[in-house]
């Protein structure tokens, strides 16, 4: 039986990498894509709602514009290639899915669309309505307007965020690799890891930063980051080999990252955030308190970095620099830095106003 059957996974997000969809010459691999469309159609017939996150716009546009390095020589080249290639990509998906009796919809998003709470909720509502109507949304990052500083940079993490917004129970990352290995799979003796029940430092150390094809932008590091986001939202994630025909129905080799119990929607959104305006470093005592569900008090902070306002997303880092949590700041960065390390009875004198109970309240915090 294939991964994520409809009975246990009413909604599924499938991500397709550039190296699978586009051949080395910059043309669409239509026969392979037709097999994907057939797999999606079969799942829809069985009652599953499917959204697709599709790479390929930059690669397709680069071919049409004659740009070197697959359109990735510069940000300007990538933006131009994406603008041209996105038209071709959406047309291919509309034709291929249409041939199977399915209606496709195009959604282009930026990082800000899913990091800004209100825009995230708007995107979630659109996805919910489209999927409820039996439409197959095809999403991609809006590379024509994205900048180096404000972009996903890879569609692995975008797929995980889309799954979170759509309330999906499963994510499939179809890739030119067949999953996680304990070291670079090109090295002798590399062992395939079929199941990951918890993402820890040992799992992260296995990640290789390269993309095997050189065409895409996501390596294993981005895939593990995507698994963290999906798992935090209660969705299982599988890295699956797309180097086979009909990979959504075949027993393709893969690595499955198992989700634990889903966090509440708001906290899952916080945990999955990719941008932060600052970092609050804490001592060992505060780190232990956070792990038990406590708010972050100023007395436990050792250092504050960043120029952030009240309500901005910040990262909380432990004594070793490891990220422990994400949350919404109760103070602007300047004031947080002034009271860091001070007990509550001294904070009013330092700030000149009555202090709030915490730097980051537990109700607005998600542990990582």
**Which residues are annotated as part of the binding site for substrate?**
55, 143, 155
DSSP letter string over 246-298? STTTS---EEEEPP-SPPPHHHHHHHT----SEEEEE-HHHHHHHHTT--B-G
Q: Packing angle between helix 155-166 and helix 117-132, nearest 10 degrees?
A: 70
Task: Give CA–CA dist 167/235, Å, rounded.
Answer: 8
Place of tokens 């026969």: 31
What 3-state class would DSSP assign to 352? coil
DSSP secondary structure letter of residue 180: E
Place of tokens 């070291």: 183
Are 215 and 148 in contact by the 8 Å Cβ rule? The answer is no
Longest CA–CA span in the chain (Å) reads: 71
Are 58 and 18 in contact by the 8 Å Cβ rule? The answer is yes
Residues making up the annotated binding site for ATP are 15, 175-176, 217-223
Task: Give CA–CA dist 323/273, Å, rounded.
Answer: 13
Those residues with Cβ within 8 angstroms of residue 109's Cβ, 6 or more apart along the chain or in another chain = 123, 139, 140, 141, 142, 158, 162
Cα 153 from chain centre: 10
Those residues with Cβ within 8 angstroms of residue 127's Cβ, 6 or more apart along the chain or in another chain = 51, 107, 137, 162, 165, 166
Task: Give CA–CA dist 123/252, Å, rounded.
Answer: 31
Are 220 and 208 in contact by the 8 Å Cβ rule? The answer is yes
Residues making up the annotated binding site are 15, 55, 143, 155, 175-176, 217-223
DSSP secondary structure letter of residue 356: P
């Amino acid at each position: 039986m294939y991964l994520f059957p409809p009975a246990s996974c009413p909604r599924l997000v499938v991500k397709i990498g550039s190296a699978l969809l586009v051949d080395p010459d910059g043309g669409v691999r239509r026969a392979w894509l037709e097999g994907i469309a057939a797999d999606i159609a079969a799942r829809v017939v069985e009652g599953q709602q499917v959204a697709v996150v599709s790479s390929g716009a930059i690669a397709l546009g680069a071919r049409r514009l004659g740009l070197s390095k697959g359109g990735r020589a510069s940000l300007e080249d990538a933006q131009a290639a994406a603008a041209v290639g996105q038209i071709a990509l959406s047309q291919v998906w509309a034709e291929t899915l249409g041939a199977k009796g399915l209606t496709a919809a195009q959604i282009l998003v930026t990082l800000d669309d899913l990091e800004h709470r209100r825009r995230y909720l708007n995107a979630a509502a659109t996805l919910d309505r489209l999927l409820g109507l039996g439409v197959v949304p095809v999403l991609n990052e809006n590379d024509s307007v994205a900048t180096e500083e404000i972009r996903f940079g890879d569609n692995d993490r975008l797929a995980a965020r889309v799954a979170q917004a759509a309330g999906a129970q499963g994510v499939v990352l179809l890739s030119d690799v067949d999953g996680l290995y304990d070291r670079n799979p090109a090295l002798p003796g590399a062992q395939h890891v079929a199941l990951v029940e918890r993402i820890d430092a040992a799992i992260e150390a296995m990640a290789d930063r390269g993309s095997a094809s050189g065409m895409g932008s996501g390596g294993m590091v981005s895939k593990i980051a995507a698994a963290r986001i999906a798992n935090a939202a209660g969705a299982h994630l599988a890295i699956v080999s797309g180097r086979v025909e009909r990979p959504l129905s075949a027993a393709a080799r893969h690595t499955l990252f198992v989700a634990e119990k889903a966090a509440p929607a708001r906290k899952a959104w916080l945990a999955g955030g990719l941008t932060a305006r600052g970092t609050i470093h804490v001592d060992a005592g505060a780190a232990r308190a956070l792990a038990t569900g406590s708010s972050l008090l100023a007395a436990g902070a050792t250092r504050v970095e960043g120029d952030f306002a009240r309500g901005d997303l910040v990262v909380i880092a432990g004594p070793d620099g490891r990220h422990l949590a994400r949350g919404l700041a109760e103070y602007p960065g300047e004031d947080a830095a002034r009271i860091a390390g001070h007990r509550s009875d001294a904070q009013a004198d330092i700030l000149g106003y009555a202090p709030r109970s915490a730097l980051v309240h537990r109700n607005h915090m998600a542990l990582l």
